[in-house]
Copies of this chain bind each other. A is one copy, B any other.
Amino acid sequence: MTDTRKPAHLAPKAAESPGLRPLYRQVKELLSRRIADRVWQPGELIPSEHQIAAELGVSQGTVRKALDEMTAERLLTRRQGRGTFVARHDEARILFQFFKLAPDDGVAVFPESELRRVTKAPADADERRALGLDPGQRVIRIARLRSLAGKPVISEYLSLPERLFPGLGEAVAVENNLYDLFASRFGITVAGARERVKAVLSSPEDAELLGLESGAPVLAIDRIATAIDGAPVEWRRSLCRTDECSYVNTLR
């Protein structure tokens, strides 16, 4: 702490502007930006509440409220006695936050993945709509087969904006945990997603991949994943056989 300048980026409270935001939200957004901009990187220990409070010229309680909300949004993890860390996309987190398919008997595990294809092409209409792209922008298309306990369960198709993932293609072959790869190689932290689930009849190709008779019913999960700033960064369609597992959702 040799440098204790007060940025005073924050409006103390009663600014005359009508669209007024609480101090702790300003703190939260300032700190979120540091994560999004990789000033603070995944897994890193960030300064203590005291230090941040002193740096920004606000009270520790205000910083705490900001950090609490960021922790609730899974941007941070806090450990009493140790400090506050930028959250990482480890498999345990993915499993809890993003992977909703669980076996009907037994405990959920992270699936294995077999890469089938990686291609690049101009985004089609569906991809442009899902990812908010302009005509002519290109996407990377990935097809892979995912298995639980050695049995193929998910045939998955992803579309990624090529602009956000320059040079992806080799790395995806070896990396099973894609969101961790997005963060470590491309600086893109997936913060949330919206899924639409339907029951459909499997295509002949997917049925064969999954070891089903052609025309068997499968779950179709359409996901649009978004980064910290809310921008869409991935569109994926997962076709799942659900004879021995289910899409599990807890409503609270």
Residues of chain A having any CB pair with chain B under 8 Å = 73-74, 97-98, 100, 104, 191-201, 217-220, 222, 240, 242-243, 246-252
Contact = CB atoms under 8 A, between A and B. Distances in A.
A220 B248 CA distance: 12
B192 A246 contact: no
Nearest to A243: B198
A194 B97 contact: no
Nearest to A201: B217
Interchain residue pairs A-B with the least CB separation, the first 4: A217-B217, A199-B199, A196-B246, A197-B247
Nearest to A241: B199
Contacts of A97: 251-252
A173 B198 CA distance: 30
B194 A242 contact: no
Contact of A200 (B191, B199, B222): B199
A224 to B, nearest CB: 10
Contacts of A196: 104, 246-248
B249 A197 contact: yes
Nearest to A74: B252
A251 B225 CA distance: 9
Contacts of A220: 199
A197 B195 contact: no
Copy count, this protein chain: 2
A108 B150 CA distance: 39
Contacts of A199: 199-200, 217-220, 240, 242
Given A195-B248, A222-B246, A249-B249, 7 more contacts: A100-B249, A100-B251, A192-B251, A194-B248, A197-B197, A199-B219, A217-B217
A198 B251 contact: no
Contacts of A193: 250-251
Nearest to A242: B198
Q: Which of A242, A247, A251 has the most CB of B within 10 A?
A: A251
A217 B239 CA distance: 13
Contacts of A219: 197-199, 219
Contact of A251 (B195, B200, B240, B246): B195
Contacts of A218: 199, 217
